[in-house]
Structure 1
């Protein structure tokens, strides 16, 4: 196998993973036309059709799927060996791919990266921000960041942030025409701002807890968003009550722009964790990231 073969096979694997020439070209740092030429060249050399193209997506043929099954573990092993070589240098270097939610990225990940990266210019971090849960093995992420309760049990999970709390808030103007709720049952008489979950498409049921009582309240209201920042903005403008992460609204509560209610029904819960497969080889770069993120109470 020559260098050209290896590069072409890697390009094929990226297209197969992304199911899109556009996304694959962006990931590889090349043009879509150049990538299409690379795949045609590989298919011609092998005498096999590896990919089928439709107007919406790219899929592997039977031959392509068989090749991908052999190729992915082999290239993963090569990548791991190359990554391990950074242990021999004074300044570890290499690429780390992460998947995370928006809130975790802004509140946990970015503050840690700001501290870490200036001292290690050879480290590259590729961050994909998404609301849903990715299969980090199938999609070739090194690790993910999510709440502990959502992480599969076969993953190693490292706490990287403090306990979190939800906060139910509304604008002072809203409460001039609506009574302050003292129990979750009273939420049925209020305009509530709903959050649509990207993973399921369903609307988030507010999870409230007090002592041994735990409730999932399906609220009603005029507005539904799939973004917590928009819930906060709508609450600030007086359109109803929002249930969001505490740290997203406490500045507004302190300034009197929002009023917090049902605080005794919002206990702390375990915060964000970095998770990764137990079989993942721990390179120097990855160990640096884990230590930079690790939560120390």
Structure 2
């Protein structure tokens, strides 16, 4: 394989991952027109169409997806080999690609990642925020950050914080209009605030457990949002009951601005975990990031 062919395959992987010539070109440091020309040349040499193009988007064809699945593991090994050279340089270096969801990005990464980047100038980090459960190996990510009970069993999981707990809350004004529920089934008589998952499009179910009994409720929602802060604002305004994280509303509960109900049905669950494939040695940059996030 020539150097040009190798570069074209790297460029194809970037386009397939970014779903955009403009974004991929920015990552690669070349012009969109040069990247488009390289992809056309690659398709002509291979005599197969790899990318489906429209005026608004670009995505891999079935043949392109198959090629990408072959390229990602090889590219991951090359990246890890280059990253491992940091052991001889005396400091972590290289690129890290991390996938997570919005709540973890806000609570785990936002407070600590900037300081990590400042103290490790040779490390480059890309974060993809996505509500879906991404296959990090197939998508070419070094690691992901999710709730512990959603991490696949074949991954190495590192706990980043304490267990979490949900809370059903409403304002005092709301409970002047409606009696407090005593069991999850009572929520059918209440106005509720729902959260819509961006990836699947479904509503986040409300999960309860008490004395070994598990109950999943999909309440009647008078307001639904795919942004947690907007949903919480509706709860604090008295629109309805919310299924929120206890740590986010503890100050409101203590001050009497919100009243918590069904507390005995809301059990702790596994908190944030960083996970990565266990079959290969972790690159030094990832080890340094884990240490920073756990500090």
* Fold match (TM-score > 0.5): yes
2:58 paired residue number: 57
| CA positional deviation for 1:190 | 0.9
1:224 paired residue number: 224
| CA positional deviation for 1:74 | 3.2
- Is 1:179 the counterpart of 2:184 in the alignment? no
2:121 paired residue number: 121
**Separation in 2 of the partners of 1:69 and 1:176?**
57
| CA positional deviation for 1:165 | 0.4
Distance 1:91 1:229, change over 3 A: same
Q: Secondary structure at 1:133's aligned position in 2?
A: coil
Distance 1:255 1:50, change over 3 A: same
1:139 paired residue number: 139
| CA positional deviation for 1:69 | 5.2
- What are the equivalent positions in structure 2 for 1:1-297 lying under 5 Å apart? 1-44=1-44, 46=45, 48-55=47-54, 56-60=57-61, 62=63, 64=64, 67-68=67-68, 70-294=70-294
**Separation in 2 of the partners of 1:280 and 1:3?**
27
Q: Secondary structure at 1:139's aligned position in 2?
A: coil
Deviating more after overlay: 32-41 vs 94-103: 32-41
Q: Secondary structure at 1:201's aligned position in 2?
A: coil
Q: Is there any run of 5+ residues in structure 2 with no aligned partner, and where? A: none
**Separation in 1 of the partners of 2:42 and 2:95?**
26
**Separation in 1 of the partners of 2:46 and 2:267?**
62
| Contact residue 188 and residue 220 of structure 1 kept, 8 A | yes
**Separation in 2 of the partners of 1:114 and 1:54?**
36
Partner deviation per Cα, 1:89-136 (whole Å, 9 max, x = no partner)? 122211111001111112122333244333211111111111111111
**Separation in 2 of the partners of 1:258 and 1:65?**
49
| Contact residue 49 and residue 61 of structure 1 kept, 8 A | no
Normalized against structure 1, the TM-score is what? 0.88
| Contact residue 87 and residue 284 of structure 1 kept, 8 A | yes
**Separation in 1 of the partners of 2:165 and 2:65?**
45
**Separation in 2 of the partners of 1:280 and 1:115?**
27
**Separation in 1 of the partners of 2:30 and 2:252?**
45
Distance 1:288 1:74, change over 3 A: same
| CA positional deviation for 1:33 | 2.1
**Separation in 2 of the partners of 1:201 and 1:84?**
40
| CA positional deviation for 1:264 | 1.9
Q: Secondary structure at 2:78's aligned position in 1?
A: helix
Query: Which consecutive aligned stretches of 4+ in structure 1 deviate over 6 angstroms post-superposition?
Result: none
Q: Secondary structure at 2:9's aligned position in 1?
A: helix
| Contact residue 235 and residue 242 of structure 2 kept, 8 A | yes
Q: Secondary structure at 1:249's aligned position in 2?
A: helix
Partner deviation per Cα, 1:160-184 (whole Å, 9 max, x = no partner)? 1110000111122212222222322
| CA positional deviation for 1:71 | 3.8
| CA positional deviation for 1:50 | 4.1
Aligned pair count reads: 293
